[in-house]
Amino acid sequence: MTNPIASRTRSVARPTLGVLLLLLSVLILPVSSLAQSSETSGDSPAPPSQWPQVVLLESKSEALGNSENPGTPRAGTSGMPVLDTRQLEYDVLHYALNLQVDPSFGWLAGTCTVIFLVQDEPLEELVLDFRDNMNISHVNVVYPYRDNLSYNRGKDQLVIEFPKAIASGDLGYVEIQFWGQPEPEGLFGYRVDVSDGGHPIVATVSEPWSARSWWPCKDDPTDKATVNVNLKVPTGFTGVSNGNLVAQANNNWTWSEPLPIPTYLVSIAVSQYVEIESHYEGPAGSIDLKHHVFAEDEEKAREDLSILPEMLDFCGELFGPYPFVGQPFGVAECAWDEAMEHPTAVTYGDVLITGTHQFDTVLMHELAHMWFGDMISPEDWTQIWLNEGFATYAEALWAEHVYGPAGLKSFMASHNWGHGYGIDTLVRNPDSDYAPYYFRTIAYHKGSYVLHMLRRWLGDEDFFAALSTYLNNPKLRFNTANSMDFQKACEEVSGQSLDWFFDQWLYRTTYPVLRLDWQNDLSDGANKVRVTLSQEQDPEPDGSRRPYIVPVDLRLVGAGIDTTVTVLSDRLVQDFIVPLSGAINRVIVDPDRWLLHDMVADTAAKNNNVAKAPVTLLPAYPNPFNPRTMFNWKAETTTRDLVEVFDIQGRRVLQEDLGEQEAGPRQYLWLGADESGRQFPSGTYLYRITCRGRIDGQEFSRQLNGKVVLAR
């Protein structure tokens, strides 16, 4: 498959077997294009210095309710919800929701019709997920016979008993009348609020397992079903849900999603909307664009959303036609700083609509989810990187499309949070019942870096062909997938066994921490640069210290010399010899940001041609602290510094640009509060100091990452 990102994108060739054998001994592969790719191409604008962090904007790092130990199961819980064994006895084919929604109140009333297919044994009871605080008025079976049904409640389940068992292979058709005041939960749930412009609004985000908080269902991503939603709303309000609007009369808005989706993607948004309509024809197909926004944001929304035709062209060429054929695409504005990839009608926070295209990459992220997450969904929440890592890398590809190689480099640099990911695996731990755990930064940022590094290893042609193979697998389309399904697509296209790659990046808790030493060896007018590359990452939890297998780019710079070579690091300590025509004075590791890694120290050379670290992090003091601590670092040149603080869930709680400062020691006093003075509770906080400047005539950007504990 030809890479459609455009001619701005370079191709990274996959090593042949002969080259790999050379790599495994002493691999020195000149890559002149790598040195060039760090520059912005002539026809591309300069990329922004800051990129929106979707993980912080999707409200997926924020919890409702309490968790004493986020990321670990609480006493009396069993971790991530799993299906009751009785729920394996039937397959839901269709849900029909008929809801009365009034955004002025928190109450919800309606009926839920469940059409299901009985599996291998006769079905005597139907077990659905439904929070105990919600009420049931009536349950009856319509098919294969008519009868009122008895039911039991408890443990957030609705257990419906059939007087006559429904035979294996038969359809069942049950109606449930329910009402209540849904409680916001998990990442969002069912919420009622008022916009800044005074518009009452109801919106839902059910990811990962909050659909059960507002309607009875089999709340598991493995059982996808088609959905109809009828919304009866007050006069002057619009009801929005998934799929096509098939009827609208007498304040009733009826939507139909004819393709199977999981319960976490079923959504509603009800408010006083204006509609923005247009039509798209292009590589993604024939699509009606329908957006529902607040009247005061209409002009800004028209500007921000005007980029969608170009984005659809891009996605259509890269990922294939829009999966929800014959259905619209659009956003439904809500009153919170979040975005959620609901099929055909993305729930989109009002803070994201600025009229300045500030959040274009967020829009791309949600659009990419139509393929990655909505069409192919994770088989369980441990596999969420297949949603969020892929959508985040779609942002990176868009940055490359718009800004050229410099855009890709800049975007990936901003999403390398180093130790901010914590000691954890990319495939999540199912033992946690804490919903935000599954959506922490690692799923987004490390997930995108895994794809970035895979692209580097396979080369553009095979990488994008693997994406196409994965997306067009008939067993996965509008079904669920796991990491092995994606690995198989990559292996099928490339002809390689990739166990080693996916094992080290999906299941290991560390990532490479490199140390580089080098020296010139001049004789007879030539130079043999000796490079020693060491891996010094922390041991794994089991105490092992296996090396990573990673290609590492080294840019060697000296008088009249500026070349990039690639070495394969697959041992804890390795030496490489690079023949050059003259002496060098600087070595830059990974100049184009292809590798997720950290550095122990910058280069040192025995001949005093030392490329010193331009900035160094010093210990924060005091630590632990109450009520204030001092961040300390030093710089050997003039830099412009940005200080950011994040809580342990990856949410940015403070950001301050310190401007340009002369060389020397630096300090920042943090009072355990945000810019407005709002105090934060006890806990662990991560801080990041980004220093930008020039050294030896070359621009650099260096991130320093630290951790402090606030103990009030």
Q: Please give the backbone phi and psi of residue 345, each rounded to the nearest 5 degrees, phi first.
A: -145, 80
For 178, half-sphere exposure in the C-beta direction (CA atoms, 13 angstrom radius) is 28
86-271 and 613-712 have identical folds: yes
CA separation for the pair 275, 273 (Å, rounded): 6
> Around Cβ 543, how many Cβ atoms within 10 Å?
6
Which candidate, 568, 600, 583, 598, places its Cα nearest to that of 530?
583
Q: What is the pTM of this model?
A: 0.80
- Here the tokens at position 560 are 């009249």
- pLDDT surpassing 50 at residue 395: yes
For 510, half-sphere exposure in the C-beta direction (CA atoms, 13 angstrom radius) is 18
Which candidate, 49, 48, 58, places its Cα nearest to that of 651?
58
- Here the tokens at position 640 are 């412009």
Q: Return the minimum-mean-pLDDT range out of 26-35, 344-353, 644-653.
A: 26-35
pLDDT tens sequence across 250-301: 999 999 999 999 999 999 999 999 999 999 999 999 999 999 999 999 999 9
CA separation for the pair 222, 382 (Å, rounded): 13
Point out which residues pair with 202 in neighbouring strands: 192, 270
- pLDDT surpassing 80 at residue 21: no
Distances (CA, A) of 540 to 47, 247, 416, 526: 37, 57, 20, 42
- pLDDT surpassing 90 at residue 100: yes
Which candidate, 453, 361, 366, places its Cα nearest to that of 402?
361
Map residue 547 onto helix, strand or coil.
Answer: coil
- Here the tokens at position 234 are 């007050």
CA separation for the pair 27, 565 (Å, rounded): 9
Q: Return the minimum-mean-pLDDT range out of 128-142, 171-185, 280-294, 507-521.
A: 507-521
Class of domain 86-271: mainly beta
| Cis bond upstream, residue 81 (ω within 30) | no
Whole-number percent of the chain with pLDDT over 90: 65
Q: Please give the backbone phi and psi of residue 357, each rounded to the nearest 5 degrees, phi first.
A: 65, 20
How many residues would you count in the chain?
712
pLDDT at 28: 42
Does the CA dihedral 259-264-266-271 come out positive or negative?
Answer: negative
- pLDDT surpassing 90 at residue 703: no
Is residue 224 a contact partner of residue 116, using CB atoms and an 8 Å limit?
Answer: no
Map residue 574 onto helix, strand or coil.
Answer: strand
- pLDDT surpassing 50 at residue 354: yes
Question: Average pLDDT in the 529-555 region?
Answer: 91
Domain spans of the chain, in order of start: 86-271, 613-712
Is residue 571 a contact partner of residue 614, using CB atoms and an 8 Å limit?
Answer: no
pLDDT at 660: 84
pLDDT tens sequence across 461-514: 999 999 999 999 999 999 999 999 999 999 999 999 999 999 999 999 988 999
pLDDT, mean over the chain: 87
Whole-number percent of the chain with pLDDT over 70: 87
- Here the tokens at position 168 are 């294996």
- Domain 613-712: give its CATH architecture: Sandwich (2.60)
